[in-house]
Amino acid sequence: MTFPLFDLEGRRALVTGSNQGIGYALARGLARHGARIVINGRNPEKVETAAQQLRTEGFDVSAAPFDVTDAKAVADGVAAIEGGEGAIDILINNAGMQFRTPLEDFPIDKWDQMLRTNISSIFYVGQAVARFMIARGEGKIVNIASVQSELARPGIAPYTATKGAVRNLTRGMSTDWARHGLQVNALAPGYFRTPLNQALVDDPKFSAWLETRTPAGRWGDVDELIGAAVFLSSKASSFVTGHMLVVDGGITTSL
């Protein structure tokens, strides 16, 4: 049995920051639904390793190592994909970073790095890819936001600021580009077991608090994000744009 609305057969998806964690899980999930995948990251060896891991499963995967915080590298990298491999039909803007410390002690260099990684990269890659999508009259862009687009907790104020910006940049992109046939949405994960969250996963006190605070009573598994990503990348979401789809076990709905 096939489900045409969710079929990604023949569609090419660029997933930034996809050599590990959520990005890798989403790349693999889209591949399982038929998409051709372009793995991206700054480290060529890690990118190729991740791509090869997916190829061993029989997926159509290529590697595109470039730094998403460098506007010129992004423009060149996207042009190389479009010119050498073919159209980017789906963009998952996943690259991101975290740094935890009290706000009064937050280093200026980390603030600048976080802005470049978590929000400027979405603008750079989104704009570069959208220019090709607009010419074709169609395309899907999914920006990875967070429950921290809506909430805050001690020690991560700059991260919260960038993820709030992701939500509003998504709204702006959708407003500008919907008339060109693009759907731009955000996917907002809650607390998932990933390398980015490893310090929290390893903290028994935090994990106990999270399991009590989350109605589902547990950390999320990264594969539980795949369904939402496929929906936002497929024909099933043809009239959905500017939306933030939260996948969080209920943490944003309950006090």
Q: Which pLDDT score is estimated for 237? A: 98
Q: Which residues contact 102 (CB under 8 A, 6 or more apart)?
A: 154, 155
Phi-psi region of 126 (alpha: psi -120 to 50; beta: other; left: phi over 0): alpha
Q: Which pLDDT score is estimated for 2? A: 64
Q: Give the span between the Cα atoms of 147 and 87, in whole angstroms.
A: 31
- The length of the chain is 255
Tokens 């399982």 label which residue?
Answer: 32
Residue 155, φ and ψ in degrees, nearest 5: 90, 0
CATH of span 4-246: 3.40.50.720
Q: Which pLDDT score is estimated for 88? A: 98
pLDDT class for 197, splitting at 50, 70, 90? confident
Q: What is the DSSP annotation of 43-95?
A: -HHHHHHHHHHHHTTT--EEEEE--TT-HHHHHHHHHHHHHHT----EEEE--
- DSSP at 102: -
State the catalytic residues: 159
Does the structure show a pLDDT above 90 at 198? no
Tokens 């159509």 label which residue?
Answer: 60
Could you report the per-residue pLDDT of 153-189, keeping only the tens digit for each? 899 999 999 999 999 999 999 999 999 999 999 999 9
Percent of the chain with pLDDT over 90: 94
Using alpha carbons only, what angle is made at residue 183 by residues 179 and 187, rounded to the nearest 5 degrees?
Answer: 150
CA 107 to chain centre: 25
Could you report the per-residue pLDDT of 53-100, keeping only the tens digit for each? 999 999 999 999 999 999 999 999 999 999 999 999 999 999 999 999
Residue 147: closest CA among 227, 240, 251: 251
Residue 112, φ and ψ in degrees, nearest 5: -65, -40
Q: Give the span between the Cα atoms of 144 and 18, in whole angstroms.
A: 12
Q: Which residues contact 209 (CB under 8 A, 6 or more apart)?
A: none
Does the structure show a pLDDT above 90 at 1? no
Q: What mean pLDDT is predicted for residues 10-24?
A: 97
Could you report the per-residue pLDDT of 113-137, keeping only the tens digit for each? 999 999 999 999 999 999 999 999 9
**Domains in the chain: boundaries:** 4-246
pLDDT class for 46, splitting at 50, 70, 90? very high
Q: What mean pLDDT is predicted for residues 28-41?
A: 98
As given in the structure block, the two tokens for residue 121 are 């990269």
Residue 174: closest CA among 133, 235, 136, 120: 133
Three-class secondary structure of residue 200 per DSSP: helix
